[in-house]
Homo-oligomer: A and B are copies of this chain.
Amino acid sequence: MKFCSNCAQPVAVRVPDGDHLPRYVCDACGMVHYQNPKLVVGCVPEADDGRILLCKRAIEPRLGYWTVPAGFMENGETTQDGARRESWEEALARVEISSLLAVVHVLHADQVHVMFRARLLDGQFGVGAESLEVKLCSEAEIPWADIAFRSVDFALRRYLEDRGHGVEQHHFTTIDFRKPQEHHR
């Protein structure tokens, strides 16, 4: 952020009065432009035969790697709405969202990923605009070495573990790629 989106004057970075963190502040109109984490919502869709729907990404980041349907939550929708919408957009799949699976704090990206369990309805799917390929994978067929994101790897592993134990828990975790760099200081 270089300019105030309200009045077009340059913004400064400083701690506003009564605050405790540096913000983008406009000294011309007085507006404070807060930056907050973004929500990414998605799901692990399971077909009636137990296989899981995966999508090969057609866009950066991680083009060519595999993911479950997930993307930025939009204003005006619930987290479940968003996961359902992403399943349609990325995999032309109608899904029924069920229990909460994972909440992943991705600190280096200022994102919170919220993943649900889901059931693939009517067994139909296709290749959405943001995908190169979409397929159903048995547990043994999951391409672990080519999963696009750590949060997706986490969600898939917890999903399969819980399914193996006949439970549906939710799991919190934190991923922070800033940490290894700090070791080199």
- Listed in ascending order, the chain A residues whose CB lies under 8 Å from chain B are 1-11, 18, 21, 33-39, 72-80, 100, 103, 105, 107, 110, 112, 129, 170, 172, 174
Complex CA–CA separation, A79 to B79 (angstroms):
16
Q: Do B78 and A105 touch across chains, with their CB atoms under 8 A apart?
A: yes
Q: Do A174 and B21 touch across chains, with their CB atoms under 8 A apart?
A: no
Complex CA–CA separation, A157 to B22 (angstroms):
36
Note all chain B residues with C-beta closer than 8 A to A35.
75
Q: Do A37 and B73 touch across chains, with their CB atoms under 8 A apart?
A: yes
Complex CA–CA separation, A10 to B6 (angstroms):
10
Q: Do B72 and A34 touch across chains, with their CB atoms under 8 A apart?
A: yes
Stoichiometry, as copies per complex, reads 2
Report if A3-B2 is in contact (Cβ < 8 Å); known contacts: A21-B74, A112-B79.
no
Q: Do A76 and B170 touch across chains, with their CB atoms under 8 A apart?
A: no
Q: Do B8 and A75 touch across chains, with their CB atoms under 8 A apart?
A: no
Complex CA–CA separation, A72 to B36 (angstroms):
8
Chain B: minimal CB distance from A57 (Å): 15
Chain B: minimal CB distance from A74 (Å): 7
Chain B residue at smallest Cβ distance from A178: B76
Complex CA–CA separation, A94 to B156 (angstroms):
35
B5, B18, B75: the one contacting A2 at CB < 8 Å is B5
Q: Do A75 and B39 touch across chains, with their CB atoms under 8 A apart?
A: no
Chain B: minimal CB distance from A170 (Å): 7
Chain B: minimal CB distance from A81 (Å): 8
Complex CA–CA separation, A4 to B10 (angstroms):
11
